């Protein structure tokens, strides 16, 4: 009887561990593909002079304070990414702080990007300071 319980315990443990997505920032990836990939492309390379890249983007690397605000409130006007000037419109969306944080951690580590990951506390603070 006891050994059956052990068996059950290990079976449940096995199922629990394997149902966890082992991919890092998988919610961020799902959200990215659903909300950003159309424009920035699945491979993060953007689209010619219309949509700036996220893969290898110096702007993404150098402006961690601005990124949460861009995701929530959008971005328009001149912006220079990897030496190329863009002047288009990106719409914002009412994502939660957690969604924004997960998406940033995804784009900061996808496609060979090795930019620092962010915390929910930092993202929350940055969102409070948008437009100031």
Write out the residues near ligand HEC by the rule CB under 6 A.
35-36, 38-40, 51-54, 57, 59-60, 67, 70-71, 75-77, 79, 81, 86-88, 90-91, 103, 107
CA distance 90 to 39: 9
Neighbours of 108 (CB within 10 A): 21
Q: Which is nearer to ligand HEC, 25 or 86 (CB)?
A: 86
Complex with ligand HEC: residue 71 or 123, whichever CB lies closer = 71
Tokens of 71: 């995701």
Nearest to ligand HEC of 11, 82 (CB atom): 82
Longest dimension (CA), the chain: 70
């Amino acid at each position: 009887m006891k050994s059956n319980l052990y068996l059950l315990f290990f079976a449940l443990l096995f199922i629990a561990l394997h149902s966890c997505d082992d991919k890092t920032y998988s919610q961020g990836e799902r959200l990215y593909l659903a909300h950003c990939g159309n424009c920035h492309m699945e491979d993060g390379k953007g689209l010619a002079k219309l949509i700036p890249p996220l893969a290898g983007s110096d702007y993404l690397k150098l402006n961690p304070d601005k990124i949460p605000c861009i995701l929530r409130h959008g971005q328009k006007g001149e912006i220079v990414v990897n030496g190329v000037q863009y002047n288009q419109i990106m719409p914002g969306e009412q994502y939660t702080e957690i969604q924004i944080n997960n998406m940033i951690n995804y784009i900061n580590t996808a496609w060979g990007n090795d930019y620092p990951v962010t915390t929910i506390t930092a993202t929350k603070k940055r969102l409070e300071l948008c437009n100031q």
